[in-house]
Chain A
Amino acid sequence: MSNQSSINLKDLFLNGIVKENTIFKLALSLCPSIAVTNNLKNGVFMGVAVLFVQVMVNLTISLMRNIIHPKVRLPIFMLVISGWVTVTQLMMAAFVPDVYSKVGLYIALIVAFASILARAEMFASKNSIIPSAVDGLGMGVGFLFALSVISFFRELVGKGSLWGHAIINTKPLLIMILPAGGFFAVGILMALFNWINARYAAKAAHASH
Chain B
Amino acid sequence: MSSEFTKLIELIISASLINNFVFTRFLGLCIFFGVSKKMETAVGMSITFTAVMMVSAALSWVVFNWLLVPLEITFLEIIVFIGIIAGLVQLSDTIMRKVSPGLYYKLGIYLALISTNCIILAVPLISAGEKYSFIQSLAFGLGSGLGFALALIIMASIREKLELADVPAPFKGLPMAFVITGLIALAFTGFSGLITL
**Partner-B contacts on A (CB < 8 A):** 27-32, 34-35, 75, 78-79, 82-83, 85-86, 89-90, 105, 108-109, 111-114, 117, 175, 178-184, 186-188, 190-192, 194-195, 198
CA distance A191 to B183 in the complex (A): 17
Judge whether B28 and A31 touch: CB under 8 Å.
yes
Residues of B within 8 A of A27 (CB): 30, 33, 174
- 19 more A-B residue pairs beyond the given contacts A108-B77, A108-B125, with a C-beta to C-beta distance below 8 A: A28-B30, A29-B30, A31-B27, A31-B118, A34-B26, A35-B27, A78-B82, A82-B78, A86-B76, A105-B122, A112-B118, A113-B116, A178-B189, A179-B23, A179-B189, A184-B182, A191-B170, A194-B169, A194-B170
Q: Jot down 15 A-B pairs with beta carbons below 8 A, ordered by A.
A: A34-B29, A79-B79, A82-B78, A86-B75, A86-B76, A86-B78, A90-B75, A108-B121, A109-B125, A112-B82, A114-B30, A183-B179, A191-B168, A191-B175, A198-B169
Cβ of A185 to closest chain B Cβ, rounded Å:
8
- B185 part of interface (Cβ distance < 8 Å): yes
- Mask of B112-141 contacts with A, CB within 8 angstroms, 1/0: 000011101110011001000000000000
Judge whether A187 and B182 touch: CB under 8 Å.
yes
- B92 part of interface (Cβ distance < 8 Å): no
Residues of B within 8 A of A181 (CB): 182
Judge whether A78 and B178 touch: CB under 8 Å.
no
- B186 part of interface (Cβ distance < 8 Å): yes
Judge whether A112 and B116 touch: CB under 8 Å.
yes
Judge whether A180 and B186 touch: CB under 8 Å.
yes
Residues of A within 8 A of B185 (CB): 179-180, 183
Judge whether B175 and A194 touch: CB under 8 Å.
yes
17-45 of chain B: CB within 8 A of chain A: 23-30, 33
133-191 of chain B: CB within 8 A of chain A: 168-172, 174-179, 181-183, 185-186, 189
Main secondary structure of the interface of B (DSSP, over half): helix
Judge whether B183 and A180 touch: CB under 8 Å.
yes
Residues of B within 8 A of A184 (CB): 178-179, 182
- B88 part of interface (Cβ distance < 8 Å): no
Judge whether B125 and A105 touch: CB under 8 Å.
yes
**Given A112-B117, A194-B175, A31:B78 Cβ within 8 A:** no
**Partner-A contacts on B (CB < 8 A):** 23-30, 33, 75-79, 82-83, 86, 116-118, 120-122, 125-126, 129, 168-172, 174-179, 181-183, 185-186, 189
Residues of B within 8 A of A180 (CB): 182-183, 185-186, 189
Residues of B within 8 A of A32 (CB): 26
Judge whether B170 and A195 touch: CB under 8 Å.
yes
Cβ of B168 to closest chain A Cβ, rounded Å:
8
Q: Which of A85, A111, A179 has the most CB of B within 10 A?
A: A179
CA distance A82 to B78 in the complex (A): 6
Cβ of A35 to closest chain B Cβ, rounded Å:
4
Residues of B within 8 A of A117 (CB): 116
CA distance A133 to B2 in the complex (A): 58
Judge whether A112 and B25 touch: CB under 8 Å.
no
Judge whether A35 and B25 touch: CB under 8 Å.
yes
Judge whether A183 and B174 touch: CB under 8 Å.
no
Cβ of B154 to closest chain A Cβ, rounded Å:
14
Residues of A within 8 A of B176 (CB): 187
Judge whether A187 and B33 touch: CB under 8 Å.
no
Q: Which of A31, A85, A111 has a CB less than 8 Å from the CB of B29?
A: A31
CA distance A184 to B185 in the complex (A): 10
Judge whether A183 and B170 touch: CB under 8 Å.
no
Judge whether A85 and B78 touch: CB under 8 Å.
yes
Judge whether B179 and A31 touch: CB under 8 Å.
no
Nearest 5 interchain pairs by C-beta? A187-B178, A183-B182, A30-B29, A180-B185, A195-B170
